[in-house]
Amino acid sequence: MVSARPAVQALPAYKPGRNPADLARELGVDRAVKLASNEVPFPPLPAVVQALATTAAETHRYPDNGAAVLTAELSAHYGVDPAQVVPGCGAVMLCQQLAQSFNDPGTAIAFAWRSFEMYPLLAQVAGARSTQVPLVPSVPGGSADTHDLDGLAAAVDEDTRLLFVCNPNNPTGTAVRRAALERFLDRVPDTVLVVLDEAYREFVTDPDVPDGLELMRGRPNVAVLRTFSKAWGLAGLRVGYLVAEDPAVADAVRRTHVPFSVSTMAQAAAVAALRSSDEVVRRVAAVVAERDRLTAALRDRGLEVPDSQANFVWLPLGEPTAEVARALEGRGVITRPFAGEGLRVTVGTPEEDDVFLAALDDVLPGVSAPAADDVRSGAPVG
């Protein structure tokens, strides 16, 4: 009998956010609101639509395996050498390539927890040990929601090969600041590759949250991971990129690239998006303004909401999280629950967010246990 590796058999199935059309049909309503996957609420950029129309006629040919044009555009955009840039089929694929490039079985990957849910899965597939360092409160007396950089540095051992810092952190939206991150990078041994996962960098408004590309300079064991899926609106095309200070790091990641995995259309769309950066800046500003409005509305309801530097907000509801998410779905609103911990809510349009807030007002008084007052105050539960 053919059997998969035990590590693969033990992997939990990835559960993407529900399709809103499916939920609407199930509920018998005209539409459901999806605030689960951190997509931007805008249609594709006009230049992207034009690029897709143009390149559609080329899809009978293989894409450029090296993504030369996109690499050159990224190189010019960020002022780095092309040898430092690695495009990939989404940031998740690049995370997998990093694990394949730097982790042998028995080595370790370190990261904060909770953070991006793929990190422990990547370690499991690579046969590496997950070194998970619990989050700490970003404000005194609050819920644990931000990186413990001192704890993360202390957790590095002789087996650690790869270390992820998700900044802003997914799913909590919090971000670590310049001085603390610089101290941390100075403490990590140069044998450990530190990857600053900045999937949500474009939404950062706190001037003290550093651009990872600036901190990368002069640190050969630091690389920065970004994506076109969020602010740039290309979630359906799967294209991300890694920028490494040391070209040898980029070369290693490039060697684990799945041939032709970044499609012709994805490459063309990413180039078109980069050339439309002014419009992206305007769209990001609209998301940030709505993020501030949504945060204020939730806090006005007595809910604990940490300051978010991403395009989503985090509600640390504790034990009732799954119950609240189910009740919201029953009212046509899809969010992203992390059972027993909290609810991640994507910033949508003002109309979508108002639908969410109205549904939440219906749901919270009916939360069974713990008391709704505990949920509202953010008090520890369970």
Domains of the chain: 6-44+278-377 (3.90.1150.10), 46-276 (3.40.640.10)
Taking the whole predicted model, whether its pTM rises above 0.75 is answered as yes
CB 131 within 8 A of CB 108: yes
Q: Which of 120, 310, 360 is nearest to 198 (CA)?
A: 310
Report the alpha-carbon distance of residue 3 to residue 184 in Å, rounded: 42
DSSP code, position 201:
G
Residue 5 has a pLDDT of 84
**Segment 278-304, tens digit of pLDDT:** 999 999 999 999 999 999 999 999 999
Residue 220 has a pLDDT of 98
| Helical pair 277-300 and 350-363, crossing angle rounded to 10 deg | 20
Residue 8 has a pLDDT of 83
373: tokens are 């007052």
Residue 101 has a pLDDT of 97
**Segment 228-270, tens digit of pLDDT:** 999 999 999 999 999 999 999 999 999 999 999 999 999 999 9
Residue 3 has a pLDDT of 84
Residue 378 has a pLDDT of 45
37: tokens are 């996957």
Report the alpha-carbon distance of residue 240 to residue 49 in Å, rounded: 19
Cβ within 8 Å of residue 10, ≥6 positions away: 124
| CA-to-CA separations, 29 to 21, 23, 359, 361, in angstroms, rounded | 10, 9, 14, 20
Q: Which residue has the tokens 């027993």?
A: 340
When computed from its CA atoms, the radius of gyration of the chain, rounded to whole angstroms, is 21
Q: Which of 337, 311, 327 is nearest to 360 (CA)?
A: 327
Residue 26 has a pLDDT of 87
Residue 377 has a pLDDT of 47
Burial class of 28 by CB neighbour count within 10 A (0 to 12, 13 to 18, 19+): exposed
- Segments in the chain below pLDDT 70: 368-382
CB 342 within 8 A of CB 304: no
Q: Is the peptide bond before 370 cis (omega within 30 degrees of 0)?
A: yes
- Look at phi and psi of residue 126 and say left if phi exceeds 0, alpha if psi is from -120 to 50, else beta: alpha
| CA-to-CA separations, 317 to 305, 310, 314, 350, 355, in angstroms, rounded | 10, 19, 9, 23, 19
Residue 371 has a pLDDT of 38
Residue 136 has a pLDDT of 98
